[in-house]
Chains A and B, each alone.
Chain A
Amino acid sequence: MVLKELCNLPGISGHENEVRSFIRNEISEFVDEMKVDCLGNLMVKKQGHNCSKHIMYLAHMDEVGLMVEKIESSGVIKFATVGGILPSILPATQVKILGKKTLQGVVGIMPIHLQKNGVMDPIKMDSLYIDVGASSDKDLQGSIECGDPIVFATQYEEYGQLLKAKAFDDRVGCSIMIDMLKQNITPAYDTWFVFATQEEVGLRGSATATYQIKPDFSVVLEGTTACDNPLVERNRYTTQLGKGPAISIAHNGFVFSKKIFDFFKSVAEKHQISYQIKEKVAGGNDATNIGKGEKGSYVGSLSVPVRYIHSPVSIMHPDDYQNTLQLALALYQENQSFLTL
């Protein structure tokens, strides 16, 4: 498992190159063909026994993060969000700015002593800035500029039974696909593994990958929202840590086919892999694009539950990783039975 290495790498949408290079090195000896398209998708092929159908597994390499917008004359940095991030979770977050030089920074915050009643007003992007310890914009000339990506400075850690890192969404999917490839199984049909770009800003990489591969059957591997928090009512959990991969019924802009939903459940049950059903339809992922791409195709989505997703630090359960990997492998070996239904 290379989850630790993947999560620690920087790769906001549109800047996935370090993640891509790492994955390339990990898998190159296990694949029959490898290419990178102009959107930066890394697409690798496992030759199957039969080339009459195309199977696709897809996970996205990009993570949510920030981007330098403007360097103020005072030396503080105004920034934009890349992907969905609540401004109110950002104050006091430690970040890394990846310009010509890499700078450490902190998102500035008004001290509690100076806030009215000690309660912050709702935080808007206008009031946020990054402090890199510079005293004027001249200090920063030649090291960073507008457009440079910014990532959360969180490092991967195991603690108790759980894992903690940034970017589980969706390095967990990438790591599972790498583990699948390392098993070096020859599939029934030609199978493409796509490490996609720019999911967080609008499912972009998967659109061009789908056009090129024209899959008949696809599985999207994702990290998804877990809200299994004791302060939240049970009916709002969405998914729970430790209960296995979440199979989606429907999400934003797409309803999964009943055939796919039933097939995923039946494979999990046959292989005695614990799974759960995603209980909310909020949010979406690359499956939407794949399902309606070109003439349309069968697609399903398997997700590892992740708490505090789209924040500087998220939490997941290693058992969910293993069970998602097992179910993905089981589907990899059984998709023939779906396609000949």
Chain B
Amino acid sequence: MKDILKQFVEISAPSGREEPIQKAIQSIIQPYVDDIKTDSLGNLIAHKKGNGKKLLFDAHMDEIGFVATYIDDHGFVHVEPIGGHNPINLPFQRICFEYGAKGTLGFESEILSKMNSDRKDVSFDTLYVDIGARSKNEALSKIRIGETATYDSPFVDMGHRYMSKAMDDRVACAILVKLIQTLQTHHHDLYFVFATQEEVGLVGSKASAYGIEPDFGIALDVTATGFEDTPKGLKRVPMKLGAGPAIKIQDRSMIANHSLNQWIQTIADQNRIPTQYEVLPFGGTNGGVIQTTKSGVYTTCISIPTRYLHSPSEIVDVMDVQNTYQLAKAIAEKEITL
């Protein structure tokens, strides 16, 4: 799975511009599914036919990013955010545009001693991208207005951990791809959605779930870790790396279905897969829009604990990735009984 994960996280595909990752996933899974299609929002929807009820697995393909909106007279590029960025993290990060131009997010203070206090107020109005252009014309020859960018931050194998941009949510894409490749028997009519535009507001999944009308929905996404994981981790956030997939209890988008969670816990116990529970006081996942589709769907989310979310250096644990795959496979192989 490491090779697929490395391939996926290194693809640049922010919300609304998912075509590169969609094509990569499609070319791998096509031989293993009965039907595959894309819709007008760019969602990739794969179907493994079965006789049972409809079970939907969902992972989002998009990552947070940037879009060029204005090039000033000196050739500096002004960008707007795509998805949730905290601007204070951004000064001097490197980014790469759709057609290959690379740059860094410049940030300055006119008075040196004010650098730290100014940094607290950094925003997309004060940041700019230096792509090494010496003039407006040179910049315009390298990028076009409307071109998107993502962090330029490749995959690193740290032994027991992996680090990269876009673990959110390519790690789940990689898990679902491996599941599709390896699944032998299943009791459900299985749908796999690789969704678009999660980071800007759960857009793609809302439409794909409407079209599929599943009986059960399971979103696979990343979640934050807290005080038990890192020296100054968030209080009230119990999740940690290496403790297994996190079964969602609730976040700001959803209270997960309790019966489905209990059934998943039973399956995990039978297969000796470690799990933890997730209670997240912020954020949401595609589970939130799947759950409220049409007359409602039994829905939960299985999360891969991830450090430093929405940064260029998101870190996951190798065993958590393996165990999440094992759990998803065990779920797909059994018949859900609530």
Contacts and interface: CB of A to CB of B under 8 A. Distances in A.
Interface of A: 216, 233-237, 249-250, 252-258, 261, 277-281, 288, 291-298
Given A249-B146, A280-B80, A254 B203 contact: yes
9 contacts: A216-B40, A234-B72, A235-B128, A237-B70, A255-B203, A257-B16, A278-B69, A281-B67, A296-B206
Contact of B69 (A249, A293, A296): A249
A225 B49 CA distance: 49
Contacts of B78: 235, 279
B12 interface: no
B234 to A, nearest CB: 26
A260 to B, nearest CB: 10
Given A253-B201, A255-B15, A281 B207 contact: no
Interface string B102-136: 00000000000000000000000100100000000
B16 A256 contact: yes
Nearest to B39: A296
Contacts, number: 93
Of A233, A252, A261, A277, which is in contact with the most chain B CB atoms at under 10 Å from its CB?
Answer: A277
Contacts of A281: 67, 80-82
B204 A296 contact: yes
Nearest to B206: A292
A258 B210 CA distance: 23
Residue among A291, A292, A297 facing the most chain B CB atoms (10 A cut-off) = A292
Contacts of B80: 250, 279-281
Given A253-B203, A254-B197, A277-B146, A296 B16 contact: no
A295 B16 contact: no
B83 to A, nearest CB: 9
A53 to B, nearest CB: 12
B139 to A, nearest CB: 13
Contacts of B128: 235
A255 B198 CA distance: 10
Contacts of A255: 14-17, 82, 197, 200, 203
Nearest to B81: A281
A263 to B, nearest CB: 13
A295 B42 CA distance: 11
B318 interface: no
B145 A277 contact: yes
Given A255-B200, A294-B210, A279 B70 contact: yes
A250 B67 contact: yes
Contacts of A257: 16, 40-42
Interface of B: 14-17, 19, 39-43, 67, 69-70, 72, 78, 80-82, 125, 128, 145-146, 197, 200-201, 203-204, 206-208, 210-211
B71 to A, nearest CB: 10
A292 B203 contact: yes
A296 B41 contact: yes
Contacts of A297: 40
Contact of B67 (A233, A236, A249, A253): A249
B204 A258 contact: no
A133 B198 CA distance: 52
A254 B200 contact: yes
A280 B40 contact: no
A277 B69 contact: yes
A210 to B, nearest CB: 11
Contacts of B200: 250, 252-255
Contacts of B210: 294-296
A252 B201 CA distance: 8
A22 B338 CA distance: 55
B209 to A, nearest CB: 10
Nearest to B71: A235
A294 B207 contact: yes
B70 A296 contact: no
Contacts of B206: 292, 296
B286 to A, nearest CB: 12
A254 B43 CA distance: 14
Looking at B16, B78, B208, the one whose CB has the most chain A CB atoms below 10 A away is B16
A105 to B, nearest CB: 37
A258 B42 CA distance: 10
B67 A288 contact: no
Given A277-B69, A279-B80, A281-B82, A235 B125 contact: yes
A270 to B, nearest CB: 18
Given A296-B204, A296-B208, A233 B125 contact: yes
A252 B84 CA distance: 11
Given A235-B125, A254-B203, A280-B80, 8 more contacts: A237-B70, A252-B201, A255-B16, A255-B82, A257-B16, A277-B145, A292-B197, A296-B210
A305 to B, nearest CB: 14
